[in-house]
């Protein structure tokens, strides 16, 4: 497939672009971007033991390409967006102490409307873990692959600090656009230098605690993510903070290479650390679901075939993603 050419437009070109009223399209924001989610899911496969990797490597392209299905569903399904985040800071000064881990207890304390409004990411992740475990028990390869890909996506979201705060795009602090900057622009710029080999997946004793722990780790980073960018923005005039790139037929305003490098240095490679933690967490949850399902033999599950109806459903999902509007929260706004 021919790759789209990416080039930086000079300051003179910018003037010409503005003068000619060329349509400038802001770069969209998804957790880790499609690039990041796909790379993360792919690398998580290599954390698995031989008994699992024989199956996952056979379906490596599925695990990779379908890593972005949950984001596509945000364009097709009302309420899907709630599965991708939790605005934990809305629940007070010590939100992790205030929030019950059990769904029924959380609903009783804060009401279901409130919980859903501010995101259900941890409970969604736990639900999908049990779905994957059941798929392993049934040796249902389609569902093993579906829930593995989905879980990888949601774990990726949970490792992004801005998926744990009501100020998810800096819209409350005059930093609109920081969501895509942190999770898309930085990894796309530096991922070629990242070390994605993170060791072997580990068995998790308590899935619920494990999920809440890495969400808490993400939330601790929120202050640094916002404060460091705010400080840096005071040192860069607008014409140095942004640049314009041509991507296919579109011209997009993006954070400049210099500003991106400075922010990444200020964060002390936080993005790489969170990506590495994501990869290990995904592999570990896949592995735990398999172990807790009785370690079924995955070497002879047969050929992966999809019905005409399933293919039509995928086609419709892609159609709504390509031509539709997000149903719910848009992290780019």
Structural domains of the chain, ranges and CATH numbers in brackets: 31-237+264-323 (1.10.575.10)
* pLDDT score at 245: 87
pLDDT-based confidence at residue 249 (cuts at 50, 70, 90): confident
**Which strands form 242-247's sheet, in the order they lie side by side?**
6-9, 242-247, 250-255
Question: What is the distance between the alpha carbons of residues 204 and 288, in angstroms, rounded to a whole number?
Answer: 6
* pLDDT score at 32: 62
pLDDT higher for 155 or 23? 155
pLDDT-based confidence at residue 31 (cuts at 50, 70, 90): low
Return the minimum-mean-pLDDT range out of 77-81, 133-137, 145-149, 300-304.
300-304
Asked if residue 319 lies in contact with residue 16, where contact means CB atoms within 8 angstroms, the answer is no
* pLDDT score at 11: 36
H or E segment and range at residue 55: helix 50-58
Return the minimum-mean-pLDDT range out of 18-27, 98-107, 235-244.
18-27
List, for residues 70-110, the tens digit of each pLDDT value: 999 999 999 999 999 999 999 999 999 999 999 999 999 99
Question: Which candidate, 270, 172, 198, places its Cα nearest to that of 228?
Answer: 270
Give 308's Cβ-side CA count (13 Å radius).
0
224-248: average pLDDT: 93
- Mean pLDDT in the chain? 90
């Amino acid at each position: 497939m021919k790759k789209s050419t990416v080039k930086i437009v000079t300051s003179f070109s910018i003037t010409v672009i503005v003068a000619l009223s060329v349509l400038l399209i802001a770069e969209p924001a998804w957790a880790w971007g499609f690039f990041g989610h796909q790379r993360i899911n792919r690398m998580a496969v290599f954390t698995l033991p031989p008994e699992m990797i024989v199956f996952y490597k056979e379906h490596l392209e599925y695990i990779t390409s379908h890593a972005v299905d949950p984001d596509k569903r945000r364009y097709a399904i009302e309420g899907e967006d709630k599965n991708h985040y939790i605005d934990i800071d809305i629940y007070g000064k010590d939100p992790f102490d205030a929030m019950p881990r059990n769904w029924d207890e959380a609903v009783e304390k804060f009401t279901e409307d409130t919980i859903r409004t501010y995101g259900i990411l941890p409970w969604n992740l736990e639900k999908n873990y049990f779905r994957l475990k059941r798929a392993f028990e049934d040796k249902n390869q389609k569902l093993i692959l579906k829930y593995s890909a989905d879980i990888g996506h949601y774990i990726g979201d949970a490792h992004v600090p801005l998926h744990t705060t009501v100020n998810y795009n800096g819209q409350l602090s005059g930093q609109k656009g920081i969501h895509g900057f942190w999770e898309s622009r930085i990894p796309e710029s530096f991922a070629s230098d990242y070390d994605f080999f993170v060791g072997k997946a580990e068995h998790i004793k308590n899935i619920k605690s494990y999920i809440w722990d890495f969400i808490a780790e993400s939330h601790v980073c929120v202050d640094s993510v916002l404060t460091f960018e705010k400080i840096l923005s005071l040192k860069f005039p607008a014409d140095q903070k942004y640049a314009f790139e041509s991507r296919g037929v579109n011209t997009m305003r993006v954070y400049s290479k210099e500003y991106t490098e400075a922010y990444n240095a200020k964060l002390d490679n936080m993005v790489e650390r969170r990506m590495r933690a994501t990869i290990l967490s995904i592999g570990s949850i896949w592995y735990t679901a398999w172990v807790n399902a009785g370690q079924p033999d995955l070497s002879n599950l047969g050929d992966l075939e999809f019905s005409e109806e399933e293919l039509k459903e995928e086609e419709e999902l892609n159609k709504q993603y390509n031509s539709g509007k997000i149903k719910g929260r848009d992290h780019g706004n």
